[in-house]
A and B are shown apart, each in its own frame.
Chain A
Amino acid sequence: MQWLQSRVQRELAGQIEASRGRLYRLAFAWCHDTTLADDLAQETLSRGLARLEQLREPERLMSWLFAILNRCWIDHLRRRHEEVDDEVLAEMPSDLPGPEGYAERQEAVIRVRTAIAALPLGQRQVVTLVDLEEFSYAEVADIMAIPIGTVMSRLCRAREALRGLLKPAAAEPRLRSVK
């Protein structure tokens, strides 16, 4: 039994290692800062490996790992903003500079990233967890430790806001097709 357990843990440790790219991408979508995203991914890997024994259901490894990423991110924000509660953090307006100046100059990509960077934090997290990582609403609720109803309402608001922010872009092709 003991050897089986440690074999499972080794397997899980390998999977955690392999998730670095996904953690980095999502962290980047949250903070739009490559250095910080890399640090958050690193911190998540370290914490995940150190706490592997606390993982009760191995099949939920990914949502467990992204919950750790969420914790690392919140901790980072706490350090920056000192004492604030989770609700305030979630509604915190974006003070991100926006992803200008990155390698990809592709205009549409930059425009969407800028729009996402402008979303309040809680909405930004929910929409990227659902769209990039394809977690179910229940998993996102779990990862962020919020009720599922909150996941849904944040997602609605996020998509509505994105639609508003990206409207000029969306209107353009329609005008062209009219011509």
Chain B
Amino acid sequence: MNDARKNFSDESLNAFVDNQLGAQEREEILAAIAEDADLSRRLCALRSTKELVRHAYGQVPAVGSTRDRRLPLWSGALAAGVALVAGVLIGWQGHRAADTSASKSLLAWAGSFFAAQPTRVLLHLDSSQAEHMEEALDMVEAYLAKAGHARVEVVVNNSGLDLLRQETTPHAARIAALAARHEMLAFVACGNAIARYRSAGLDVTLVPEAKVERTAIEHIVDRVRQGWTYLKI
């Protein structure tokens, strides 16, 4: 019957496609589909729209592509840190206004991070990608150049452990130099990650500056609770 057919609202049909209907209403629609070509066409269109949306974001551009764009920008952040230390009075606002070509959101983020000048900062690295390791150390250096008395911890887990392994780190000298210059800087390795490496038959000898905590996640949660500013590289 035509009148009965028109009873299904768009809301109901959407809910049917999203599996959000109660059993009874669901049965009613299922029963009606067979006799109502228009209904089945509407449902089909909704379902294919849903599929298109899903498919469109099945693979999104990697964060990696973001990072690549970020790297040169970090030199901007570094330069700003150095400039401030040198006593040149360029505030972040000024820097941001001047640098219109760079990504606004990154500058907003880096700007707010630097401007707030947290005294306790936790940097978390869980990747052994060369640019991520470098970004972590660049960040430490830039921040300590600006806020010399801040406490900064670099916490590594997963393959980020490679930053602190003598067997793999390309940055042993830089880590030693940073640690020598900044008393309040610490490098922390995840005990779990070390155990996983060793059980996979890999040697783990940490650089002398590194200390070990039971797990990185526990340590991060503790620090965040204590009011540290947490930043994932």
Question: Residue of A at shortest CB range from B66?
Answer: A34
B49 pairs with A36, CB closer than 8 A: no
**Complex CA–CA separation, A37 to B108 (angstroms):** 13
Question: Which of A58-66, A82-90, A130-138 lies on the face that meets chain B?
Answer: A130-138
Interface membership of B218, Cβ < 8 A? yes
- Asked whether A112 and B52 contact (CB < 8 A) given A50-B230, A152-B15, the answer is yes
B57 pairs with A159, CB closer than 8 A: no
**Complex CA–CA separation, A159 to B65 (angstroms):** 30
Interface membership of B232, Cβ < 8 A? yes
Q: Tally B residues with Cβ within 8 Å of A.
A: 42
**Most A Cβ at <10 Å: residue of B46, B53, B54:** B53
Interface membership of A153, Cβ < 8 A? yes
Q: Tally A residues with Cβ within 8 Å of B.
A: 51
Give the dominant DSSP class at A's interface: helix
Interface membership of A109, Cβ < 8 A? yes
Chain A contacts of B63 at CB under 8 A?
24, 34, 38
Interface membership of B221, Cβ < 8 A? yes
Chain A min CB distance to B121 (Å):
12
**Complex CA–CA separation, A17 to B103 (angstroms):** 25
Interface membership of A9, Cβ < 8 A? yes
- Asked whether A103 and B61 contact (CB < 8 A) given A35-B69, A49-B220, A49-B224, the answer is yes
State the 7 A-B residue pairs at the shortest beta-carbon distance, nearest first. Answer: A112-B56, A34-B66, A131-B53, A36-B105, A156-B10, A152-B11, A38-B66
Which residues in B have some Cβ–Cβ distance to A below 8 Å? 10-11, 14-15, 18, 20, 45-46, 48-50, 52-57, 59-63, 65-66, 69-70, 103, 105-106, 108-109, 215, 217-218, 220-221, 224-225, 229-232
